[in-house]
Chains A and B, each alone.
Chain A
Amino acid sequence: MERTGERGAYSSFRRKNIFSQIWNKQRRARFTLVEVSEQHTFDNLALPLLDQLYNFAHWLTQDRTEAEDLVQETYAKALRGFDLFRPGTNFRAWMYKILRNTFLTSRTGMRAAMDQFDEEKADTILPPVTTTPETLLVDKTNRELLQQALGELPVTFREVVLLADVEEMSYLEIAETLAIPPGTVMSRLSRARAALRQLVRKKLEGAA
């Protein structure tokens, strides 16, 4: 009798404990929800990124309407998944990641991904070019030429150059955005820049 009584007391204690755990969990969840909704509303975080996300989307799709659709879909997806975003982690990288994934699953994106560079073969195709085409730098009218070259770059190279040189993301942010190891960022970026330089050089020679 005594034992069952003890057990009863124990189980009621456990029950209480479990309830208080659940209660605390709910309170914590509510607390973080309040924190998120008050300090980091989705709009507060996402709207300032509109211009740069659009720019990136336009470079990926190479078309204004498609870029607008892509940005709009990205925002809709991000808003739906905002609960999954952990405060304190990189929101910008998170948004770029969603945009990029959305693009890659679109028809244009899949087509673009088809003709992407094979990273293993890239070195044999492109001899490393480290010296910069100086002539381009003085002549500002050549900006258009550089833009053309960027547009002709395979998507895999184009995006990494844009993230590094236009968005000025750190290698770690780029790794997060592209879902690749940080070491790969370094080599891919190096190859992408070399490819861009070579394209510009070719264009300059062709124009001359």
Chain B
Amino acid sequence: MNCDLARADLELYLDGELAPERARELEGHMRSCPECAGEVLRSVQWKRAVRAAGSAHRPSAEFRERMTRRAGAKAPRFSWGWSWGLVGVSLLLLAVMGLAVVRRQQERLVAEHLLSEAADLHVATLASATPVDVVSSDRHTVKPWFQGKIPFSFNLPELGGSDFSLVGGRMAYLRQAPGAELIFQIRKHQISVFIFQEQALQDGLSLWNGTSHRLAFSTDTWAQGGLRYIVVGDASGADIAALSRLLKAAG
């Protein structure tokens, strides 16, 4: 390769566009020709100078920030994959919510049914010629009476200092489950307190707690220590609540 040919190829060589075999020839020539080697050096420096001069302009920080913010704020591209997913999730949510509502409704029905039964039992007790099987105002008499008759034990509240008095107790059955019925009295009003095993009621009341007023009876129900308490009476709601508090404290 002579110098003229080498100079002709130099530009392509420096741009990295020269075919490999030509590039090898050129490199061979430069090793033997100091003039051409000097030209290569100058050309490399020139290219570098152009590069430095040509990168003179930089965007202002304000402009760069504006562009980046614009990019970040863009709405995500619409995709059916996403929207189908959203529809699916919404449907699922609706279904779950619907199920929850239905379940809650069913539980409410079951609970109300149980409360009505308890109210019936209470009325039957009051109408009975022998309202109580164990007649005693002494809780230490009433509690032992139930031993062996029901498959659980419970605590009776200390009524001293309250307006309540214990009348007695009797066996009661709710949903074929044996339980205790205690009769309390306050100012001529008789109140029945039913105690059953929570699991024996088949979870009918498991999620249902609180007071209600049906059939002119006030009721209160709650679960405590695996037992389900149902208080039914024609006394005021305040009296029912007071008795509930005493029972809860004893339970």
Contacts and interface: CB of A to CB of B under 8 A. Distances in A.
B162 to A, nearest CB: 71
Contact of A43 (B49, B53, B71): B71
Nearest to A166: B54
Contact of A137 (B15, B46, B55, B56): B46
B42 A51 contact: no
Nearest to A149: B53
Q: Interface extent on A, as a size class?
A: 35 or more
B54 A162 contact: yes
Contacts of A50: 59, 64, 67-68
A162 B59 CA distance: 17
A161 B50 CA distance: 8
Interface in A155-206: 161-162, 164-166, 168, 170-171, 186, 189-190, 193, 196-197
Given A68-B63, A72-B67, A171-B17, A161 B79 contact: no
A5 B53 CA distance: 79
A91 interface: no
A147 B56 contact: yes
B68 A47 contact: yes
B52 A64 contact: no
Contact of B45 (A64, A137, A147, A161): A137
Nearest to A72: B67
A170 B17 CA distance: 7
Interface of A: 30, 33-34, 37, 42-43, 46-47, 50-51, 54-55, 58-59, 64, 67-68, 71-72, 75, 79, 130-132, 134, 136-137, 143, 146-147, 150, 161-162, 164-166, 168, 170-171, 186, 189-190, 193, 196-197
Closest 4 CB pairs of A and B: A58-B57, A166-B54, A54-B59, A146-B53
